[in-house]
């Protein structure tokens, strides 16, 4: 039964994604006005994880997926099995008491690494943990002359559950690639990992 459902979804998702893309003139089903302002981009192209997976599945030679999270996130949290890891920010190990988190700093090689692997006219879909770093990465690539770059707005881990009554409150279990049923792995492919 699970195989039948997977086969049906594998056929329906790419088909619906294609229809949405064609009828919407290149932008998918997402209304940019409803998107978290921190996930909006200059280019204005957005996709959910499932839409991105559907686009890639329909045309894996033309659709490129970049995971712009740190190498540690890509390695230990998991990643889409077809995603290139090109971090837009790198971990510093410095604690920021005000943010109650470790600092990340911009990766000065991000644009160079993307240009090395992809053409400026390629269709590129970028994801991070939840859609904020990927939005900044899309904007950075727009400044570099890339024109067909999508922000995967729900990222790999998704958004946090906001329900104080729920055991899952504050956990990243709402949407996202990892929670959507799209394929992901912990296995590392030497052709896809980031080598500074």
Mean predicted lDDT score pLDDT of the chain: 87
> By the 8 A CB rule, do 54 and 16 touch?
yes
Q: What is the pLDDT of residues 46-58, one digit of tens each?
A: 999 999 999 999 9
Does residue 61 have a pLDDT over 50? yes
Mean pLDDT across the stretch 18-44?
65
Percent of the chain with pLDDT over 70: 83
| Residue 155 CB coordination number (10 Å) | 28
Count of alpha carbons within 13 angstroms of residue 128, beta-carbon side: 20
Sheet holding 46-47, edge to edge: 46-47, 149-152, 123-127, 63-67, 84-85
Number of residues written out for the chain: 196
Report the candidate in 123, 146, 119, 151 with the shortest Cα–Cα distance to residue 136: 151
3-class DSSP state of 27: coil
Write down the residue that tokens 């988190």 correspond to: 101
Domain boundaries in the chain?
Answer: 2-185
Q: What is the pLDDT of residues 96-120, one digit of tens each?
A: 999 899 999 999 999 999 999 999 9
Does residue 29 have a pLDDT over 70? no
Report the distance separating Cα 62 and Cα 51, nearest Å: 15
Helix (H) or strand (E) holding 67: strand 63-67
- At 25, the pLDDT band (50, 70, 90 cuts) reads very low
Helix (H) or strand (E) holding 16: helix 2-23
Mean pLDDT across the stretch 5-32?
48
3-class DSSP state of 95: strand
pTM: 0.81
Residues 6+ apart with CB under 8 A from 147: 43, 120, 121
Q: Tell which CATH classification among 3.90.79.10, 3.40.720.10, 3.40.250.10, 1.10.1200.10 matches the domain 2-185.
A: 3.40.250.10
């Amino acid at each position: 039964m699970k195989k039948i459902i997977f086969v049906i979804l594998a056929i329906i998702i790419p088909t619906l994604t294609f229809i949405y893309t064609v009828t919407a003139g290149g932008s998918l089903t997402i209304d940019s006005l409803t998107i978290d302002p921190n996930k909006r981009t200059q280019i204005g192209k957005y996709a959910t994880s499932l839409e991105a997976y559907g686009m890639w599945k329909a045309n894996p030679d033309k659709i490129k997926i970049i995971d712009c999270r740190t190498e540690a996130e890509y390695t230990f949290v998991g990643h889409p099995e077809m995603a290139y890891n090109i971090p837009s920010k790198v971990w510093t190990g410095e604690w920021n008491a005000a943010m109650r988190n470790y600092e990340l700093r911009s990766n000065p090689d991000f644009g160079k690494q993307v240009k090395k692997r992809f053409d400026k006219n390629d269709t590129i879909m970028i994801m991070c943990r939840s859609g904020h770093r990927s939005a900044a990465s899309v904007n950075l690539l727009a400044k570099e002359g890339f024109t067909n770059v999508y922000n995967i707005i729900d990222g790999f881990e998704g958004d946090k559950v906001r329900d104080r009554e729920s055991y899952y409150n504050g956990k990243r279990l709402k949407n996202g690639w990892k929670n959507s049923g799209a394929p992901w792995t912990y296995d590392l492919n030497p052709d896809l990992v980031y080598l500074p």
